[in-house]
Amino acid sequence: MAQFYDTHAHLDYPDFANDFPDLLARAQAAGISRLISIGTDLESSRRAIRLAEQHEPVFAVVGWHPNDALTAPDDLRPALRELVKHPKVVAIGETGLDYFRLPSQRAADFQSAEENPGTADNMSATRCAEDARVKAKQAVIFQQQLEVAVETGLNVVIHQRGDCFEDTLKIFEPFADKVRGVFHCFASDAATMQRVLTLGSLVSFTGILTFKNGQNIRDTLAATPMDKFMLETDCPFLAPMPYRGKRCEPAYVREIAAVAAQVKGCSIDVLSHRTCETAHEFFPKLAWS
């Protein structure tokens, strides 16, 4: 059977605590032979490493997610330097920027029903300041993770969501001749993808590729060269069709691959060969099965 890898999964999330051995068996039965568990903070990164130690097909990426930036230590680098020494740590991340879930946005979601006109100006000024504080901390820990990547020769898994692509590149570009990034859960247009490739980096595609309203993403994949993308679930999020809305898991890379092969006009075997080769080149510590 054609093999595929889930290059971005959050296997340490509590969603999987009750049926992890079954999940692994289902992945194996579906031909998903390598699973990369992505850390979102130091504890999550340590859990990813523990899973990699316990299960042969699992590998780990260690880092700190931008959504949790405020709780990150001022200097993340010493702890990261220790974690990346592990033989099954294949990259750093996920890191990057997220302007989609800033404090003002979360507050707006929460309070949209409330009327409080007297303090509105005050509130918005406070939220602006909070947003700026979060953005600044995201930038600092992104930069620190890129620095550790340079020191250790590992690549980075990059998250960018909301209106932050330009800011992401501004921070990444000075490192681009020494570090490659995979811009994960890629959902932008072909021109944006080209800018990522120009820097020597890659993109990866999730289950949204299979959504009815995912035509723009299928168009981007169609324009992406065969050796410049990988597949991922980002589970437990973003289950592909026909599981949309349910808990996602690594076995579903199969459904994503079926649509990807269709979009690329290639066989499942060719897609398997090219995407696995790309993953080994990007994650040099990832062992062949």
Site track for Zn ion across 38-67, x = CB under 5 A: ------------------------------
Q: Give 235 or 241: the residue with its C-beta nearer to Zn ion.
A: 235
* Closer of 60 and 261 to Zn ion (Cβ): 60
Cα distance between residue 211 and residue 16, in whole Å: 24
DSSP state of 59: E
Q: Which is nearer to Zn ion, 161 or 273 (CB)?
A: 161
Q: Rounded to an integer, what distance in angstroms lies between the CA atom of residue 60 and that of residue 11?
A: 10
Query: Is residue 59 a contact partner of residue 35, using CB atoms and an 8 Å limit?
Result: yes
Query: Is omega for the bond preceding 242 within 30 degrees of 0, making it cis?
Result: yes
- How near is the Cβ of 127 to Zn ion at its closest, in Å? 26
Window 110 to 139, contacts with Zn ion (CB under 5 A): none
Least distance from Zn ion to the Cβ atom of residue 116, Å: 35
Within 8 A by CB and 6+ apart from 284, the residues are: 90
Q: Closest separation between CB of residue 38 and Zn ion, Å?
A: 5
Piece of the chain touching Zn ion by CB under 5 A; list 14-22, 107-115, 195-203, 229-237: 229-237
Residue closest to 242 by CA, chosen among 218, 271, 211: 211
Nearer to Zn ion, 234 or 255 (CB): 234
Which CB atom, from 39 or from 264, has the smaller least distance to Zn ion?
39
Instruction: Pick out residues in 233-252 that bind Zn ion (CB under 5 A).
Output: 234
Q: Residue 254, SS3?
A: helix
In the complex, the smallest distance separating the C-beta of residue 119 from Zn ion, rounded to whole angstroms, is 36
Distances (CA, A) of 158 to 3, 54, 63, 101, 189: 24, 26, 10, 16, 17
In the bound complex, what is the minimum distance in angstroms from residue 237's beta carbon to Zn ion?
Answer: 7
Q: Is residue 216 a contact partner of residue 264, using CB atoms and an 8 Å limit?
A: no
- What minimum distance in Å lies between the beta carbon of 195 and Zn ion? 21
Span of 13-21, 114-122, 205-213, 226-234 interacting with Zn ion by CB under 5 A: 226-234
Number of H helices, E strands in the chain: 10, 8
- Residues in contact with Zn ion by the rule CB under 5 A: 234
